[in-house]
Amino acid sequence: MPTTRLYLRPVWFVDSPIGLADGSWRRLGTSLLWFQGVEARGAGALQVIPVAALDDWLAALPDPLRLQADAQLGGLAAPRPSMTLGGRTIRFDTPQVMGIINMTPDSFSDGGRHLSDAEAAADVGFAMGLAGASIIDVGGESTRPGADPVWEGDEIARVVPVIERLARSGAVVSIDTRKAAVMETALAAGAGIVNDVSALLHDPRAMAVVAKAGCPVVLMHAPSAGPDPHVRADPYGDVVADVYDFLSARVDACVAAGVARDRIILDPGLGFGKSLADNLAILNRLATFHALGLPLLVGASRKRMIGALSNEAPASERLGGSIALGLEAVRAGAAMLRVHDVPETVQALRVWRGLRDAALTATPSPAS
């Protein structure tokens, strides 16, 4: 494989390492997932290396590639530390759920549902928390394709009354915004996390706000930091590699600006300036992003790709597809799902967790 960029993805996942030969498997961070092989891509070449053969494979690589591979393998193994927010702790050794509240008139799924009644919106958030959501994500500007920009004052007026009510109850709240002024006001109102679809690129002050606050931040990939985050000037080469490189660069920029690395969560940005084929490629190769060594958030809930795969089902009829994509992401190691349908997603994840626990505690049959 020539000297170039290298991308490693864990493959050959197993239900449990019990009974497997020592050295034939590795654990993905602190998750309930174990893998027995690593896929390596670079310069159009692809190969899969069994875990047991990784040391020999690494030794044969040119120095620049070996440095990349060592760093990425370290990322796969790195623990994803828990995040403490006030009196609550968010753990990443099992998948978490982030519930969505859109205080907007025009979001693609629930636009206008909560806009005029902050108390009712907060009640929805309370119900999400009772159903098992670890975080309630409140946004006041739609980022659907073609949505009109919102003045920051209007955005603040939409989200702050809801955030204040939720925070007083002890809920962990994230503010879904690209604007520094909205971030500052929402954090002062009780939000504990910033969720920015532009990865802190839209507003020149956003990075400094997050660094000063010391709060966790979700960095999402979108092809544009301008008014419409869906605009893409150039076609993707390899969409997974392109998104990976973007997120890697944003992590480096955040750390250089004073954002603690262990306060960063990554989101590949499904549906943002990406075709159906792009979205499917990202989901099928999602585990590639674990090489960055940080928790992954996936937001596939009710998105257009589900309609495209199911006879153009409207957003309100995409629960089955949302659950299917969420479970696929969790099987690839996603630490958090951002969803509209919290009770159903939590139930699916509890069943998934039960299966993992059963596999981990099973006693292998004696060899015949």
Catalytic residues: 303, 338
For the chain, how many residues are written?
Answer: 368
Strand pairing category for 96-102 and 88-90: unpaired
DSSP 80-136: ---EEETTEEE-SSS-EEEEEEE--S--TTTTTSSTT-HHHHHHHHHHHHHHT-SEE
Q: Which two tokens stand for residue 299?
A: 């937001």
Residue from 125, 99, 130 nearest 114 by CA: 125
- Reduced to 3 states, what is the DSSP secondary structure of residue 139? strand
Taking the C-alpha atoms of residue 309 and residue 106, their distance in angstroms, rounded to an integer, is 23
Taking the C-alpha atoms of residue 46 and residue 148, their distance in angstroms, rounded to an integer, is 43
Q: Would the CA dihedral through 230, 236, 240, 244 be positive or negative?
A: negative
